[in-house]
């Protein structure tokens, strides 16, 4: 019989694949001797069987019975017994944390018969009826699919009738009435009475947790976090301990360091006379752990000892859930805690300084996406501002947007191009889509461990929680703070680093991390406070360590001298892509237009001669900015329509002139030329090397301009290192023709200028045929650069501009993609072409240099692929250079943030289409 159930004492923290994260960590705490309520875990394998077959495995019922009886023997009580009954919680627990996305049912085992025994054993009638009403409402919502508002409305009516504001003010008689009202709701909405058999409660709750793996919100969360959909969740059945047993009881969540800032200390939330869901849901504003220390110093001291022990054991920030039952502390959960980007960098270097981890381990614990977050702009501290309210700084950042009061509106407004701030009393898992869409999240209730705070930190979203002065009426789409009304569509600016909320739109300034990257460490430290200085030092240490261990060079895509200078400040080791067509946009566009439309050799030559001086000047500037570093110049590669007059505009001009009887010879001639060159799909038409071969002298002009610019820099004492790159090659003969022309021109300029010109010639690999014939192309070039944007288009048969706005959203919804293949490399398809070209190109030319210059060169996960494929460099936008430096270092250590299922053929970025 396959083992599908493990007692907590049978597992450990390394069994997350089988026991899920929660179950593995409960087992680990049990092994450490911490006070964990006894229980058992039903494995992820059982979940996958249930999801595949629509029923629980036959052997599972037997194994649960055996585990349950062992549990009853350990605690000395029986599930649902009429005398001191055992109650259990049924909780989800996937391999990767998915806060609030799946189901939990507490107090399983209470029924009309066990309440008497529980009242007698506890001596607290109010507690028992409170626990019973909680079970019915949770069971009704999660297991029977009843709208939670049905229970919430009755609860609100009861509080109103009794003249109280909080649940804790209701009497035992009030709660007993609620139990009967809740049972009536179950019967009305489900057509069946609330189940009285404790084992039926347990089995149905287990199935509901398994089913919650495939709820829409869980699916959306996994898609965003790139968690494979085939993992399944474990179920943890744990002896109930009660935080709602009066004033000597309570429940809380804590962190061993501040998950928002990384500051050392004690951070968390506590509620007296409550169960865990009350803290996480944010429905009640919480007390601090300092308050907890005053209320129960003994339990607090034990909790502090356990926190230190767990952080030392896991060697990382720990997120801990605990309950105090009549003065007895119980540890309910621990995990390596989610944290903000700033906290990640600070904590990593703090743990190094505390000698708990090495610098390599510290580098593994931060990621390029987090560094990118730290580079986002912040609010200008000097700007005029009107403060609306203050809350808790739950997740840092600066967010500006129009206020919306529900998730659906957030999604709708963002889809039409608006930026929004989602304003709620508190968030719940059903708000996930709106939270993803919103620029920022603001709640009037909840603490740093509430649903809104935890999810926002995990997603890198700006969030302010627990702004108590805000009175929120979601139905009226109105909020008010100190007499100031906020309506749907009003603009707010929220600062997740300070917890401040401002009326209107505040201007933003550069992040101090960007200042550090551009101006240096000393300049930045001289102008920032101690907290920011700690962050800057952490970023500096980890970036420098990444530089010391990485193998990949990091270059930049830069088209101007200003771009090149900024890239160099960001740490770029050269230019991997200079797009020369960008030098001829705006006022210069007419120069290229004249070359392309010239109808005689003399007209074309005159146009080319006019192009030479500005092109040479551009090259001199960019070579000077990158002096001593490789500078890859891509020859012209414009889709033809970008450099021709608009065909539709010309047709309208001609038609209107003809209507007025005016002479239109020039426009007619121009229209005829544009019609002749018009293409249905310009991205696959006359561009790249094809343009260079069909417009005589065009590429020759560029090569001559580069050669003369290089000679000028050499004579000026510079050390230029230009490289010529031929775009969109698919044929060896194309390369031969351009190379021969280039070699001739380089020799001519070298002789006339009296300098030696050593200019490597390479090609972009951006169509499948180039990748598949790389063994031939390598005969005539010194380097390949993979243009993964076009290679993705041509491999998939996509026109990027059309498909991303067309059907990509549907493909993401249907799970064909987990992320756009233009954002993260399709390793199965496009990646395989890269591997073939790299391997076969180097077989022909062992010293062949290999790089990538598409947007994937700055994508963290794609960088890991390029490192494994043994490329020499990646090239990306200047802003992404620090990200690429960091990830290139992490790639050497084999660290990846992508969550994999371990199954065959699963690509975390893009599942097989």
User: CA-to-CA distance for 202 and 358, rounded, in angstroms?
Assistant: 45
Strand ranges (E), 53-140: 88-94, 104-108
User: Rounded to 5 degrees, what are φ and ψ at 59?
Assistant: -75, -15
Q: Which residues pair with 503 in a beta bridge?
A: 492
Rounded distance, CA 434 to CA 221, Å? Answer: 12
Residues 106 and 122: their CA atoms lie apart, in Å, by: 17
C-alpha span between 830 and 377 (Å, rounded): 34
Instruction: Give the residue from 339, 441, 447, 341 showing the smallest Cα distance to 392.
Output: 447
Cα separation, 244 vs 659, whole angstroms: 85
For helices 58-75 and 198-212, give the axis angle rounded to 10 degrees: 120
229 is catalytic: no
Tell me which H or E stretch contains 528.
Answer: none
Pairing of strands 392-395, 484-487: unpaired
Catalytic residue among 238, 318, 578, 853: 853
Q: What is the dihedral of CA 47, 48, 51, 55, to 10 degrees?
A: -60
Token output for 374: 């730290």
CB 252 within 8 Å of CB 269: yes
Write out the two tokens for 575.
């230019």
Cα of first residue to Cα of last residue in the chain, in angstroms, is 36
Q: If you write DSSP's letter for every residue of 489-510 in order, what string do you get? A: T-EEEEETTTTEEEESPPPEE-
Q: What's the CA angle centered on 359, arms 356 and 364, to 5 degrees?
A: 95
User: Which of 49, 451, 856, 864 is an active site residue?
Assistant: 451
**In Å, how far from its chain's centre is CA 437?**
13
Contacts with 206 (C-beta within 8 Å, 6 or more apart), sequence order? 42, 56, 64, 90, 235, 237
CA distance 712 to 719: 11
561 neighbors 624 (Cβ within 8 angstroms) = yes
DSSP state of 79: B
Q: Is 853 a catalytic residue?
A: yes
**Degrees, nearest 5: CA angle 349-354-355:** 95
Kindly report each contact of residues 307-311 with a partner whose C-beta sits within 8 Å and lies 24 or more positions away, as own/partner.
307/254, 307/256, 307/266, 308/256, 309/32, 309/34, 310/29, 310/32, 310/34, 310/256, 310/334, 311/256, 311/257
Note whether 713 and 721 are within 8 A (CB).
no
CB 896, CB 861: distance < 8 Å: yes
CB count in 10 Å sphere of residue 608: 22
Residues forming the active site:
451, 853
């Amino acid at each position: 019989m396959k083992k599908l159930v493990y007692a907590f004492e049978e597992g450990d923290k390394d069994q997350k694949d089988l026991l899920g994260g929660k179950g593995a960590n409960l087992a680990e705490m049990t092994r450490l001797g911490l006070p964990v309520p006894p229980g058992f875990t039903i494995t992820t394998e059982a979940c996958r069987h249930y999801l595949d077959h629509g029923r629980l495995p036959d052997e599972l019922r037997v194994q649960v019975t055996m585990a349950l009886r062992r549990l009853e023997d350990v605690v000395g009580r029986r599930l649902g017994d009429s005398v001191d009954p055992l109650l259990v919680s049924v909780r989800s627990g996937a391999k990767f944390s998915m806060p609030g996305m799946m189901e939990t049912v507490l107090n399983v085992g209470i029924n009309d018969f066990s309440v008497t025994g529980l009242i007698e054993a506890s001596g607290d009638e109010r507690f028992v009826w409170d626990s019973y009403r909680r079970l019915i409402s949770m069971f009704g919502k999660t297991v029977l699919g009843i709208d939670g508002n049905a229970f919430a409305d009755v609860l609100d009516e009861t509080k109103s009738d009794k003249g109280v504001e909080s649940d804790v003010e209701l009497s035992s008689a009030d709660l007993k009435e609620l139990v009967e009202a809740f049972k009536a709701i179950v019967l009305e909405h489900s057509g069946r009475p609330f189940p009285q058999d404790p084992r039926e409660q347990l089995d149905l709750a287990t199935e509901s947790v398994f089913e919650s793996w495939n709820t829409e919100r869980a699916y959306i969360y996994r898609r965003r976090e790139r968690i494979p959909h085939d993992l399944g969740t474990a179920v943890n059945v744990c002896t109930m301990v009660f935080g709602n047993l009066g004033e000597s009881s309570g429940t809380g969540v804590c962190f061993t360091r501040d998950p928002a800032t990384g500051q050392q200390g004690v951070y968390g939330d506590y509620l007296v006379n409550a169960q865990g869901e009350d803290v996480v849901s944010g429905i009640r504003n919480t007390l601090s752990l300092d308050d907890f220390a005053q209320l129960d110093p003994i339990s607090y001291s034990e909790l502090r000892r356990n926190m230190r022990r767990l952080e030392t054991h896991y060697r990382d920030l720990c997120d801990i859930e605990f309950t105090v039952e009549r003065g007895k502390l119980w540890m309910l959960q621990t995990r390596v805690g989610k944290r903000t980007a700033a906290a990640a960098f600070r904590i990593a270097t703090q743990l190094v300084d505390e000698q708990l981890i090495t610098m390599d381990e510290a580098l593994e614990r931060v990621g390029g996406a987090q560094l990118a977050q730290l580079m986002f702009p912040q609010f200008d501290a000097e700007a005029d501002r009107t403060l609306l309210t203050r809350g808790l700084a739950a997740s840092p950042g600066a967010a500006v947007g129009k206020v919306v009061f529900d998730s659906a509106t957030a999604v709708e407004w963002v889809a039409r191009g608006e930026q929004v701030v989602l304003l709620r009393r508190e968030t719940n898992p059903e708000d996930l889509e709106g939270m993803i869409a919103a620029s920022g999240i603001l709640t009037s209730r909840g603490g740093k461990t509430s649903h809104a705070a935890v999810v926002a930190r995990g997603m890198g979203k700006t969030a302010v929680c627990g702004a108590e002065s805000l009175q929120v009426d979601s139905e009226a789409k109105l909020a008010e703070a100190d007499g100031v009304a906020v309506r749907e569509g009003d603009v707010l600016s929220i600062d997740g680093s300070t917890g401040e909320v401002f009326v209107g739109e505040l201007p933003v300034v550069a992040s101090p991390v960007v200042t550090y990257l551009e101006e240096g460490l000393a300049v930045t430290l001289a102008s920032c406070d101690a907290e920011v200085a700690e962050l800057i030092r952490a970023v500096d240490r980890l970036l420098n360590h990444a530089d010391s261990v990485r193998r990949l060079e990091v270059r930049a895509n830069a088209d101007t001298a200003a771009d090149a200078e900024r890239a160099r400040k960001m740490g770029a080791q050269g230019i991997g892509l200079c797009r020369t067509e960008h030098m001829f946009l705006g006022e210069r566009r007419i120069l290229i237009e004249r070359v392309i439309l010239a109808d005689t050799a003399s007209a074309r030559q005159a146009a080319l001669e006019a192009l030479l001086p500005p092109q040479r000047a551009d090259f001199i500037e960019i070579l000077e900015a990158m002096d001593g570093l490789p500078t890859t110049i891509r020859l012209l590669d414009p889709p033809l329509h970008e450099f021709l007059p608009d065909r539709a505009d010309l047709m309208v001009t001609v038609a209107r002139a003809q209507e007025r009887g005016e002479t239109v010879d020039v426009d007619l001639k121009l229209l005829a030329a544009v019609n002749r060159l018009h293409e249905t799909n310009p991205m696959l038409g006359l561009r790249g090397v094809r343009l260079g071969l069909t417009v005589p002298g065009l590429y020759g002009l560029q090569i001559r301009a580069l050669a003369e610019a290089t000679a000028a820099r050499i004579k000026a004492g510079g050390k230029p290192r230009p490289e010529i790159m031929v775009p969109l090659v698919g044929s060896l003969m194309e390369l031969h023709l351009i190379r021969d022309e280039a070699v001739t021109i380089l020799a001519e300029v070298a002789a006339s200028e009296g300098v030696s010109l050593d200019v490597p010639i390479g090609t972009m690999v951006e169509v499948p045929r180039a990748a598949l014939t790389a063994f031939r192309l390598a005969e005539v070039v010194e380097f390949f650069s993979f243009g993964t944007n076009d290679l993705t288009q041509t491999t998939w048969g996509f026109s990027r501009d059309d498909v991303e706005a067309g059907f990509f959203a549907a493909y993401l919804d249907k799970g064909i993609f987990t992320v756009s293949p233009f954002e993260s490399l399709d390793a199965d398809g496009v990646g395989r072409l890269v591997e073939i070209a790299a391997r076969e190109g180097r077989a022909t030319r062992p010293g062949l240099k290999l790089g990538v210059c598409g947007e994937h060169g700055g994508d963290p996960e794609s960088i890991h692929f390029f490192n494994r494929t043994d490329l020499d460099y990646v090239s990306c936008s200047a802003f992404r250079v620090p990200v690429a430096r960091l990830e290139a270092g992490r790639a050497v250590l084999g660290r990846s943030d992508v969550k994999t299922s371990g199954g065959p053929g699963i690509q975390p970025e893009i599942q097989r289409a």
